C-alpha cells in the first residue's frame, strides 16, 4: 500500500474515531506533501488540518475542545499522525465565522 493510500484510509479512520462528537461538518486535509523531508514525515506520520463543527464543543474552552479530540485520536499519534492543526467550532461559531 502506498503512503498516500494509507493516508486516505487514515482520514476515514479519523472520521470513525470522531463520530461520537456528532459533527455537523468535518474536513480533514492531508498536508503531508507540503512537509516532505521533514523528520516526522520521514518516519511515516502525516500532517493534517482538521475542521470540526460540533455541538459537543458548546461551553468548552479551546483547550478542552483540543483535549476532547486528542482523546479520540491519540492512539494514531505520533506514528500515523505527526502533526494536527485543528479548528474546532460550535455550529453557532461556524455560522458567525462563515466557515
**pLDDT, tens digit (0-9, with 9 covering 90-100), for 56-97:** 999 999 999 999 999 999 999 988 998 999 999 999 999 999
Domain ranges across the chain: 3-97
Helices (H), 23-87: 39-42, 62-73
CATH architecture label of 3-97: 2-Layer Sandwich (3.30)
**25 pLDDT above the threshold of 80:** yes
Across the chain, mean pLDDT equals: 87
Task: Give the pLDDT confidence of 47-63 residue by residue, as tens digits.
Answer: 899 999 999 999 999 99
Burial of 42 (0-12, 13-18, 19+ CB in 10 A): exposed
Region of 77 please: left (phi>0), alpha (psi -120 to 50) or beta: beta
CA 83 from chain center: how many Å? 9
Q: What pTM does this model have?
A: 0.82
Using an 8 Å Cβ cutoff, are 64 and 28 in contact? no
Beta strands 46-53 and 81-89 are parallel
Amino acid at each position: 500500500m502506498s503512503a498516500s493510500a494509507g493516508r486516505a484510509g487514515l482520514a476515514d479512520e479519523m472520521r470513525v474515531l470522531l463520530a461520537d462528537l456528532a459533527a455537523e461538518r468535518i474536513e480533514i486535509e492531508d498536508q503531508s506533501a507540503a512537509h516532505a523531508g521533514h523528520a516526522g514525515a520521514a518516519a511515516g506520520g502525516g500532517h493534517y488540518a482538521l475542521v470540526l463543527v460540533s455541538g459537543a464543543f458548546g461551553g468548552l474552552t479551546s483547550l478542552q475542545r483540543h483535549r476532547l479530540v486528542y482523546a479520540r485520536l491519540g492512539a494514531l499519534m505520533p506514528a500515523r499522525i505527526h502533526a494536527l492543526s485543528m479548528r474546532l467550532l460550535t455550529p453557532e461559531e461556524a455560522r458567525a465565522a462563515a466557515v
